[in-house]
A and B are shown apart, each in its own frame.
Chain A
């Protein structure tokens, strides 16, 4: 994390004039001294109400059973699985920013990695709810874990669904570890700045007595890099395993070797769109334009464009394989996807995911914050539709006409989905209120004067 030899001009990743002191003060103040903006209360209030919707939807489901959802034979994987894949995908951008961009020494990641990691954690929490409830009897979900039991049974290790259990729980654990390790020095900074005793104690517990010893930093940095190196293949494996849930089956439209890379690209695509969706209002409300500069937004827009093109390649190849395979079922799947009962979702998806990002080729659009925000929202919708097309269209229309049927989500399906937005936003609001949303110690490494001139800058500032 110390300055690498080749780096972009720092003025692009942090506004000029900042020092060790000003960086630390500006970020800690948001948590410790600044009055909570009224918008925070309004936003948290709305999120809290949506959490209530989530709790009611879960209660209804547990009391009445899975029949309150629209799922039935043949579409057994309705909204629950769509939302699971969608949320997991969103989480992946956080890991990408925190781990992969760290390994590639992209310094611009520094100001966005903390809340992108928080986003990962909360998105995984939302994602986890769906398969847990989708098993039907969530109180028996522990059967998925290999534990010594009197039935003398093992879970099915040869099934992608069980791989998913291991992949997602490992991902959740490693994301939480990565996030917490990143927070330790900042919690120490908050502990040292907090005015009130209870907060000092709380932040102190979190900081675990961190005192910035050189010996500690040495191991800390090694640990941080190792975690990044471990998280990078992990994040790719998670969405690969998610895609194998589909690809290992024999349903037309699922049984395709392109699924793993195409899912991973889609995940990164939707995740970066979500980071943009969150970063644009946050930097405005909290006045963080110095730290999250236009340069950051433009870089993210470029990644959205690049991954969007990979996703479009995926759509094209799916269509090409269906035609080239000369397999009547695959060809029927393609025709049904485009012109069948759910045809409109496919065209909406292409509009959102293939057409909309093309505007990002223009620098004018990439520099327009409002346009970026709108495009990011449309991409999020598009990626949700993609999972809808994959899950519902294929299941509703497979081999035998006798087993074709449609699927319509009920209000409880939607309630659960909307409710997870509440959970996600409520956690995010609490996070930006009580923890530093930008990594303070990593921002210190960006102070242009670096090591040698920090003192003079300090004196100027003082």
Chain B
């Protein structure tokens, strides 16, 4: 092993800037060939190609399904409990479990729970809110929310070493390659 890079202890990763999604995709392929497996890309618009290339998995739908089922059970369970167990009221011998009239609220709570799970789940899985992140300190990164595309090789990538990543990303059609300082 070569001697540790002088900045290794405080380097969060190496960030390269691109002017188009196509260049970013090329760079991702290049990075994969160089053996990096934990790369992250930053784009101003959602791009399925990029997340496909990075091989991201997405568990959100499972959580939402669970949230919806929980909502349905809560909605119906609450009404059943109120009408049949806790406060049964005999009105002319009609069935206590008048399930058709329990459907609307069951439905609304299904939607409510599923929607809350969607939003809170998306934020939680994304690790948001997180007001600060090391990449924000890189000059020019503010354009990731406008028209620039970025590729990060983070320090937690098993193959990471700062010099190697700098060299690898400089081989791509990037505007600039910079080290991201660790806060």
Residues of A in contact with B (beta carbons under 8 Å apart): 1-2, 19-21, 24-25, 146, 152-154, 157-158, 160, 162-163, 166-167, 170, 173-174, 177-178, 180-181, 185, 188-189, 191-193, 204-205, 208-223, 226-227, 230-231, 233-234, 237, 241, 244, 441, 444-445, 451-456, 458-459
Contacts and interface: CB of A to CB of B under 8 A. Distances in A.
B46 A445 contact: yes
Given A24-B147, A208-B129, A451-B20, 15 more contacts: A163-B108, A177-B119, A211-B144, A212-B43, A212-B144, A213-B40, A213-B41, A214-B54, A218-B56, A219-B125, A222-B58, A234-B108, A444-B44, A452-B20, A455-B20
Interface in B102-152: 102, 104-105, 107-109, 111-112, 114-116, 118-119, 121-123, 125-126, 128-133, 135-136, 141-147
Contact of A170 (B50, B101, B111, B131): B111
B21 to A, nearest CB: 4
18 contacts: A20-B146, A157-B82, A158-B102, A174-B112, A177-B115, A177-B116, A189-B146, A212-B44, A220-B46, A222-B58, A222-B122, A230-B111, A233-B111, A452-B21, A453-B20, A455-B20, A455-B23, A458-B147
Nearest to A158: B101
B146 A217 contact: no
Contact of A20 (B23, B40, B147): B147
B22 A210 contact: no
B139 to A, nearest CB: 12
B49 interface: yes
Given A158-B98, A455-B20, A166 B104 contact: yes
B126 A227 contact: no
Given A158-B98, A211-B135, A451 B49 contact: yes
Contacts of A181: 119, 122
Interface of B: 18-23, 40-51, 54, 56, 58, 60-61, 64, 78-79, 82-83, 86-87, 98, 101-102, 104-105, 107-109, 111-112, 114-116, 118-119, 121-123, 125-126, 128-133, 135-136, 141-147
A408 B80 CA distance: 42
Q: Is the interface of B mostly helix, strand, loop or mixed?
A: helix
Contacts of B87: 152-154
A208 B131 CA distance: 6
